[in-house]
Amino acid sequence: MKTILNLIWLVLSGFWLAVAYVVAGVICCILIITIPFGIAAFRIAGYALWPFGRTAVDRRDAGAGSLIGNVIWIIFAGWWLALTHLVTGFALCITLIGIPLGIANFKLIPVSLMPLGREIVPTDRPFATR
């Protein structure tokens, strides 16, 4: 079931969302000081491309640096990526088959707003990193 949902997701919204994260990552990597944000954007691009069967968990070793970085991320890139997930989620929820995909979009909003201090893990072992 995860594979079918991921394939439908890829066609309807996953590809374009992943492209948005890759664009954000490239822009962040061009500006040398924001390379950690670019790496986080590339990590989330993979998650946005194939989200079913994986989840985002908080890392215990993330400290004040990730909090400050997340605030900077929200200001410069996170808000428009979250807005993209919100609009795509509402568009997908209009159709009956798109409701699970829209809910997945809404679940990606916190990750798009605060990517630092999180790790993407398979859903069968969400506590493996703790």
Q: Per-residue pLDDT tens for 3-12? A: 888 898 899 8
pLDDT (tens digit, 9 = 90+) per residue, 49-67? 988 888 888 887 777 888 8
pLDDT at residue number 86: 94
Separation CA 55–CA 7 (nearest Å): 17
pTM: 0.83
Q: How many CB atoms lie within 10 A of CB 100?
A: 16
Residues 105/85, Cβ–Cβ less than 8 Å = yes
Q: For residue 125, what pLDDT band results from cuts at 50, 70 and 90?
A: low
First to last CA, the chain: 28
Segment 39-44 mean pLDDT: 91
Percent of the chain with pLDDT over 90: 41
Separation CA 54–CA 15 (nearest Å): 17
- Res. 79: pLDDT tops 80: yes
pLDDT at residue number 109: 93
Structure token pair of residue 45? 């691009």
pLDDT at residue number 57: 83
Q: For residue 128, what pLDDT band results from cuts at 50, 70 and 90?
A: low
Structure token pair of residue 75? 């200001």
